[in-house]
Amino acid sequence: MAFFQGLLDNEADAFFEKLREVRVSSHLVIGRGGTVYQSVAFDKRAWHAGESDFQGRARCNDFSIGIELIGQEEGPFTEEQYRSLSSICDRLCVTYEIPNEHIVGHRDIAPGRKVDPGADFDYSKIRSSAK
């Protein structure tokens, strides 16, 4: 979790030294078993999208909520992750009046640079219940 909060102790392991200059965080992280961890408050900017664009608007970090799923960059993801993500998206869409078609992945906002959550990600599992 420290990595997604920008608090990783780079001196704790030699591998972490490679990550010293990486600036990454997300609002939520969903573990393989569906457990949800909040790293950044929703009213704060997280550094999840990088150089990005959504519907002609650049710098998605400035106006979006980043949710990371633990696992391979292109999946597969667990049913528990889909269930948690669906519940979260449903609540966020209602609370922030977000159209469910605005639930997108990194590959949609940073094509050519990011590939997650992968071409096989089943958006119907998380968009169908969102309002």
| HSE-CB for 64 with a 13 A CA cutoff | 26
Query: What pLDDT score was predicted for residue 98?
Result: 93
User: Domains in the chain, ordered, with CATH?
Assistant: 3-127 (3.40.80.10)
The rounded radius of gyration (Å) of the Cα atoms in the chain is 15
* Residue 117: both structure tokens together: 């959550």
Query: What pLDDT score was predicted for residue 131?
Result: 47
Catalytic amino acids? 68
Q: What are φ and ψ of residue 14, in 5° steps?
A: -60, -35
Q: Are 68 and 32 in contact (CB under 8 A)?
A: no
Cβ neighbour number for residue 100 with a 10 Å cutoff: 15
d(CA 57, CA 72): 28
d(CA 85, CA 9): 29
d(CA 87, CA 35): 12
Query: What pLDDT score was predicted for residue 124?
Result: 92
Query: What pLDDT score was predicted for residue 75?
Result: 85
Q: State the 10-residue block means of pLDDT for the chain, 131 residues long.
A: 67 74 82 94 91 95 94 90 96 94 94 90 82 47
